[in-house]
Structure 1
Amino acid sequence: MADSPEPVVPGDPAPTTADRTAGARRVATHSLAYVGGAALQGLGILLIIPFATRLLGPAEFGRVATGLVVVQMVGTLAAAGLPQVIIREHHRGPEGPRVARALAGTMVLLALGVGVLGTAVLLVLSALTSVSFLVGAAVVVASVGLTVVVAAQSLMRAQLRPGSFLALAVVATVVAQLAGLLAATGSRSAGTYLAAYAAVLVVAAVAAVMIGRPLPPTVERARTRAGIRLAAPLLPQAVAMLGLLMGDVLLARWLLGDAAAGGYQVALQLGNMPFVLSTALFNAWGPLVLSHPLGNRARFTARTGSVLTLVVGLGALGVALLGPWLAALMAPASFGHEDLVRTLAWLVGVAVLYMLYQGGSLAVLDAERTGRLAWAAVAAVVVLVVAAVPLSGLGLVGIALAKLLGYLVLVVATTWFAYRHSQLRWPPATIVVTGVAVALSGVAGWLGLAGPGAWARIGLATLVAIVGLALAPRIVRTLRG
C-alpha cells in the first residue's frame, strides 16, 4: 500500500509547493543533527574501551562484551520491531502523532513484560546452574531500560527533536559505559561493571518516559493493532540483524574462548567506526526519504543513497589503513595487535554493505513487505553461524569473514526484494563502488605494520581523507535535500 494522502480540512487552504518544500527542508535540517550526534556517541564509547581493556584484561572484558551483546539482543526482542513503524505512523494523517505515542507505550509494556519473564528465567538458572545472579540481573534490568529509551528515541526522531534524542543516546551509551568502568576500578569484575551500567540505564529510562510521554495502546486501538501487525515481521528481522551485528562476539567466545572474545570485541568496536557513520547517515537520511513525495521517492533514494554509500566506503578504507595505530591505542599488546588489524580490516566492509542494505530496506518497508526483510535477515544470520565454524580455524579473521559473508547475503536478498516490490534501482556504479571498497579495505589489513608498509598506510589514508573532504559539500547538500 502507498502512504495515505495528506488530509485536507474543509476551509483550510491546500498545502502549496512552497509549504511542502519548507517542510522537507525542515526534516532535512533537523536530520543533520543525528549525524554528528551518532558520531559523538560512537566516539565516546571508543574513548572508554582503552581503559576497560587495560583494567579488566582479555577474559573479564570478554565477559563484559558478551553481557552487552545479550542486553542489545533482549532489548530488541522487547522492542518487537516497532521503532521503524513508530516513525512511519507519525507522518500518516492528523492522528499520526497520537498513534506513534501509543505504539511507544506498547514498547514500554513489552519491555516490562520481558523484564518479568527474564527475572523468572534467571531465578531458575541461578538455582540450577553456575550462572551469576548479579550478572544476569544486570543484563535483564539493562535490557528493559534500553528498550524504554529506544521507544522514546523513536518518538523524538519522528517529532524532529534531535536534542532530546542525542541526550538520551549519550546517557544510555557513553555515560552508562563510563559508570561501569568507574565501578570496576573498585572491583575488577564483569558483574560490577554491568551492574553500574544497568543502574544508569534505569535512570535514562525514567527520563525517557518523562520526555517522550508514551500513551497506553488503547487510546488508538485500531491503528495500534495495525502498526503491531506491520511490525510483527520486523521482530525476527530485528533479532537476526542484532545476531549479525553482535552475534559474532558470542561465536568468537564459543569457538575461540573468552580471551579471543575480548580481542574480537576490540576489533569489532574499531571496525564499527564506519558502521557508526553509516547508522548516523541513515538516522538523517531515513526520515528524509520517508517524507519525500511518493512519486519520485525511489529515484531520490537511489541518487542520495549512492552518494552516502561512497562516503561510508571511504570511511571504511580509512579505518582499515589506520588499523595499527588504532589497535595500539585501544588495547595492550597482550590482545595481539596484528590479529586485531587484519580482523578490523574485514569488519569495516560490513558498514559499506549495510549502507546499501538500508536503502533497500526502506523501499521494502514502504511497500509493506516487511516479511521479506525478516527472511533476508534470518538467511544472513544462518550464513554467519554456518560459515563461522570452519572459518574459525583462521582465528579472529575467520569470524570477521563469516560476518562479512552474512551481510553480503543480506544485501543481495534485500536488493532483490526491493527490485521486485518497489521502483528502487541502484545504479551499476554504486554496486561496483561497494565491492571495490570492501575488497580494498580487506587488502589494507595485510599491509605492513611498520617500515614501508606503515608509510604506505599513511600516504593512502591521507589520499582518502582528501577525497572525503572534497565530497563533504555534496554530502551536506544531499542530506539537506
Structure 2
Amino acid sequence: MNSSTSDISLVGRIPQSWRHALGAISVLWIATALGAVMAFFTQALLARKLGPAEFGLFASSLATITMVAPLAAFGLPPYWLQLYGVEGWQANRWLRPSLRFITGSTLLSLSLVVAWSFIGAPPDAHSILLLLLPVVLGILASSLISSQLRLEERHYALALWQLMTPGSRMLVAVLLMLVPALDSRAAAVGFSLISLVVAMLALPRLRAMMQGGIRLHGHGPRPVDLSWDESPSVARLWSQAWAYGMEATLYPIFFQISTVLLKYLDGNAQAGIFGIALGVMMAIYLIPTTVYQKFLLSKLHRWAAHDLKKFWTIYRLGSIAMFASGVVVGAVLIGVSPWLVPIIFGEKFRPVVKVLAVLAVCVPIRFLSTATASALLNEKHMRYRVLAMGTSAVIVIVSNVLLIPIYHVMGAAAATVIGETSLLLMMYLGMRHFHVRRTA
C-alpha cells in the first residue's frame, strides 16, 4: 500500500539539512543546559559550604584568573574559525606560527598571575590565586579544542567536551560538602587538578591538529597537493589576530570586573553575593553562546565569504528569535528567583534576589547584542568590536567605582546593566556603519 502525503510525519517533511541542524543545536543546547545546571549547583554547594565572605574571596580570585586567561592564545581560537572559513584547507599554513604564538602568550599570562599575586593582590587572596594558576591552562585547552571541533562540525563531541569542566567542578563541590575540614583552598586545588586533566586530554588532539590532522568540514576533501611551505610569520599572525585577542581579553574584564571591584571596594561578603548572581547570569548567557559561538560561528564565516544571502537571512531571523527568547527568560528569572534562591543557596544569600531582579534587564539586551555582533566577523569588523568592548569595559569600571561606594552590591548590578546597554548600542552602530550604509 502506498502511503499518502498525510501519512508522512511532520519530522519527515523537514528537509534533511534542517533536521541535521536542529539535531546538532538540540544536542548543544542539552549539553549547555546540563553544564549550566552543573555550574549552578557547584556555586550553590560552594556558597553553602564557604559562606558569603569566604565564597566572595574564592569567586573574586577565580574571576581574576578568568580575566587573565584569555591572554593565553590571545584570540587565536576564534581567529582560526575566520581563517578556515575564508581559506579552507589552505589555512593549515597558519598552524605552525600559531603554536609559537600560543607558547609565548601562555607564558606571559601565567607570569602576570604570579606577579599580581605577589605585588597587587591583598594578603588573603595570595595563596588562592597561586593555587588557581593551572586554571589558565584548562581554559586555554578548552577553547582550542572547542574551535577544532567546530571546524570539524563534530557537535556531539563538542557537547561532551563542554560538559567536562562543569561536571568535574561539581564533583569537587560535592566533596567539599562531604568533608567538613575542606575550605576554599581545597576548592582551588580541586579546580586546578581538573584544569590539568583537561589540558593533558587536549594535548594529543592539539599535537595531531598542528601536524595537519584536522578533519575540516564544508570545504570538500583535503587537497592532495596541500603544501605548508608558505607558512606565515608569527609577526604576520599577530598583525591579523590581535583584534580577536583584544576582544577575548576585554570580555572577561567587562563581565567579571564588578565582582573583583566589590571585593576591593566593599569586602568579600558583597563580592560573594554578586558572584552568585553573576553565576546565574553566566548560565543564562550560555543560551546565545551555544547558538552563535558553538554552532553558527564557523558557518557564519563561511557564509559571509561565499553565501551572503544565507548569511543575512540567518542574521535577521536570529536577531528576532534572540530578543524574544531573552524577554521570556528575563521574565522567568524575575518570577522564580524570590523562592528559588533561598532554597538553593540558603537564607544568607537572600540579597541575591534583588540583584537578579536588576540583572534580569540584561538578558534580552545580551541576547540581542550577541545576534547583532554576529554580523561583525572580519578583521576590520573585529577592530571595531575591540573598540566597542573596550569602551563598554571602561564604562562598567567607571560606573562601578562611582556606584559601589554608595549603593554597594546594587551599584555593581546597575553598572552591569549600563555596560550591557552600551555594548548593545555600540554593536548596533557598528552593524549599521559597516553594512546598512554601504548597501543603501
How would you bin the TM-score normalised by the shorter chain?
Answer: 0.7 to 0.9
- Is the 1:36–1:280 Cα contact (8 Å) retained in structure 2? no
Q: 2:311 aligns with which of 278, 281, 297?
A: 297
* 1:386 CA drift (Å): 1.2
Amino acid at match of 2:190: A
Structure-2 separation of matches of 1:89 and 1:25:
28
Q: Which moved more, 1:286-295 or 1:33-42?
A: 286-295
Q: Which residue of 2 aligns with 1:190?
A: 184
1:136 aligns with 2:97: no
In structure 1, the gaps of 5 or more residues are 1-20, 426-481
1:145 aligned onto 2:134: no
Letter in 2 for 1:394: Y
- Assess, with a 3 A threshold, how the Cα gap between structure 1 residues 125 and 32 changes in structure 2: closer, same or farther: same
The correspondence of residues 113-128 of structure 1 with structure 2, limited to 5 A, is: 113-114=107-108, 117-118=111-112, 121=115, 125=119
Counterpart residue number, 2:343: 329
User: Are residue 414 (structure 1) and residue 427 (structure 2) matched?
Assistant: yes
Residue pair 2:301, 2:377 contacting (<8 A) in 1 also: no
Matched, 1:215 2:214: no
Structure showing greater relative contact order (alpha-carbon pairs closer than 8 Å, 6 or more residues apart): 2
Q: Is the 8 A contact 2:260 2:271 kept in 1?
A: yes
Of the three residues 339, 342, 350, the one matched with 2:354 is 342
Which amino acid in the other structure matches residue 109 of structure 1? T
Maintained 8 Å contact 1:77/1:239: yes
Q: CA RMSD in A?
A: 3.1
Structure-2 change in CA distance of 1:247 and 1:119 (3 Å) = closer
**Equivalents in 1 of 2:22, 2:183: separation in Å?**
44
Q: Is the 8 A contact 2:355 2:410 kept in 1?
A: yes
Q: 1:160 is matched with which residue?
A: 153
User: How far off its partner does 1:370 sit?
Assistant: 1.1
Does 1:319 pair with 2:333? Answer: yes
| 1:375 shift after superposition | 0.8
- Contact 1:240/1:378, CA 8 A, preserved across alignment: yes
Query: Residues 197-241 of structure 1, C-alpha deviation per residue, up to 9 Å, x if partnerless?
Result: 111111011111223434179876228765543320232322221
TM-score between both structures, scaled by the size of structure 2 = 0.81
Contact 2:396 2:415 in 1 (8 A): yes
> Among 372, 380, 385, which residue is 2:392 paired with?
380
**Deviation, structure 1 residue 356:** 2.0
Partner of 2:249: 239
* C-alpha distance after superposition, 1:327-355 (max 9, x if no partner): 113322122x1x31121122133232222
Identical aligned residues as a percent: 16
Change (3 A) 1:94 1:271: closer
Cα distance change on mapping 1:183 and 1:253 into 2, 3 Å:
same
Output the amino acid matched with 2:262.
A
Report the counterpart of residue 173 of structure 1 in structure 2. Answer: 166
1:57 equivalent in structure 2: 51
- Map residues 318-467 of structure 1 onto 2, 5 A cutoff: 318-335=332-349, 337=350, 339-366=351-378, 368-392=380-404, 393-423=406-436
- Flag the 1:119–1:406 CA change in 2: closer, same or farther, 3 A: closer
Higher mean C-alpha deviation, range 34-43 or range 407-416? 34-43
Q: CA deviation at 1:399?
A: 0.8
SS at match of 1:79: coil
State the alpha-carbon separation in 2 of the partners of residues 397 and 412 from structure 1: 23
Q: Give, in angstroms, the shift of residue 131 of structure 1.
A: 6.2
Residue type matched to 1:215 in 2?
A: M
AA at the equivalent of 1:166? A
Which stretch of structure 1 is more off in the superposition, 232-241 or 35-44? 232-241
C-alpha spacing 1:319/1:381, structure 2 compared with 1 (3 Å): same
Partner of 2:240: 230
Give the alignment's TM-score, normalised by structure 1: 0.75
Size of the alignment, in residue pairs? Answer: 402
Structure 2 unaligned residues grouped into runs of 5+: 1-14, 213-227
